[in-house]
């Protein structure tokens, strides 16, 4: 590893371009935050790093496209993983044709179902955390994810995506319906339970 190029500066981590034994890699380093006390900072950084690695490897085992993990440093809060070429779904979704958009969204839904079939909750399903590469949807940033089989968690997971689509792709808000179509197809348990849950969560929100 030589000098670092920062690819993206997220809210909680920096993504640097890196190299792992000759493979093009990215390094995700959770940055220390001066605004929070050390107790909270330490706890969040090591816990989230460990959880994220567990979830990414878990997702891969279920056939969902995620970056390959090369190396982990818990104290430092660093994960070195495969570099994904391709584009953020956030940037391309509005530009696609209606049919293509529906197809991509269904694919997203199918993959989320694969995760949920194995109780993997992504925790931050937004279109900026999905990459399109060779017709595969790569899921990145499992930083807020958890292992949880409850319908509630699955509902909240999808609700986050629903809100993200409503705010970022408001002209194509029906995208979420396509996501649900794909989700229903792939989910092993009764998807209607989850869909009902989402409706309940929406109502639970303020002033609905």
Partner 1 sequence: MVDKPNLFYIIPDLQLSIMICVGIEGTAHTIGVGIVDGTGKKCNVLSNIIKIYRPKQGGIHPREAANHHASYVADLIKESAEKAQVDFADIDLISFSKGPGMGPCLRTAATAARALSLSLDKPIMGVNHCVAHLEIGRGTLDDCKDPVLLYTSGANTQITAFAEGKYRVFGETLDIGIGNCLDKFGRNMGMEFPCGPKIEELARKGKKYLKLPYSIKGMDVAFSGLLTSAEQYHKKGESLEDICYSMQETTFAALTEVTERAMAHTEKNEVLLGGGVASNKRLRNMVQTMAKERDAHFFAPSTDLCIDNGAMIAWLGLLMYNSGIRMKVEDSFIDQRFRTDMVDVSWRD
Site string for partner 1, 41-80 (x = CB under 8 A): --xx------------------------------------
Question: Which 3-state string (H, E, C) describes 137-204?
Answer: EEECCCCCCEECCCHHHHHHHHHHHHHHHHHHCHHHCCHHHHHHHHHHHHCCCCHHHHHHHHHHHHHH
Residues 132-151 within binding reach of partner 1 (CB under 8 A): 144
Q: Hey, what's the torsion of the CAs at 64, 68, 73, 78, to 10 degrees?
A: -80
How far apart CA 168 and CA 173 sit, in angstroms, is 9
Stretch that binds partner 1, among 7-15, 63-71, 130-138, 176-184 (CB under 8 A): 7-15
Q: In terms of Cα–Cα distance, which of 70, 80, 201, 82 is closest to 139?
A: 82
Residues 104-123 within binding reach of partner 1 (CB under 8 A): 123
Which residue, 117 or 148, has its beta carbon nearer to partner 1? Answer: 148
Cβ 68 to partner 1, closest distance in Å? 25
Site string for partner 1, 169-188 (x = CB under 8 A): -xx-----------------
Known catalytic residues are 124
Which residue, 42 or 181, has its beta carbon nearer to partner 1? Answer: 42
- State whether residue 68 is helix, strand or coil: coil
Please report whether residue 206 would count as binding partner 1 according to CB under 8 A. Answer: yes
8, two tokens = 């993206």
Q: In terms of Cα–Cα distance, which of 138, 143, 13 is closest to 67?
A: 138
Residues 8-47 within binding reach of partner 1 (CB under 8 A): 9-12, 33-37, 39-40, 43-44
Q: In terms of Cα–Cα distance, which of 122, 134, 133 is closest to 179?
A: 122
Residues at the interface with partner 1 (CB under 8 A):
9-12, 33-37, 39-40, 43-44, 123-126, 128, 144, 156, 160, 163-164, 166-168, 170-171, 201, 204-208
């Amino acid at each position: 590893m030589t000098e670092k190029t920062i690819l993206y500066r997220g809210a909680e981590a920096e993504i640097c371009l890196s190299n792992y034994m000759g493979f093009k890699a990215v390094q995700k380093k959770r940055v220390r935050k001066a605004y929070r006390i050390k107790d909270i900072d330490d706890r969040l950084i090591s816990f989230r790093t460990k959880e994220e690695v567990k979830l990414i490897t878990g997702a891969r085992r279920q056939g969902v496209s995620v970056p390959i993990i090369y190396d982990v440093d818990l104290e430092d809060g660093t994960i070195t993983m495969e570099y994904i070429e391709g584009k953020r779904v956030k940037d391309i979704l509005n530009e696609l044709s209606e049919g293509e958009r529906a197809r991509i969204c269904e694919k997203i839904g199918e993959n989320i179902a694969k995760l949920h079939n194995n109780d993997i909750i992504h925790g931050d399903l937004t279109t900026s955390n999905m990459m399109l590469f060779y017709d595969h949807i790569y899921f990145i940033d499992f930083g807020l994810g958890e292992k949880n089989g409850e319908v509630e968690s699955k509902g909240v997971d999808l609700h986050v995506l629903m809100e993200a689509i409503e705010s970022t792709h408001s002209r194509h808000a029906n995208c979420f319906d396509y996501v649900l179509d794909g989700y229903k197809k792939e989910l092993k348990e009764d998807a209607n339970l989850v869909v009902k849950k989402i409706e309940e969560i929406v109502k639970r929100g303020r002033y609905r």
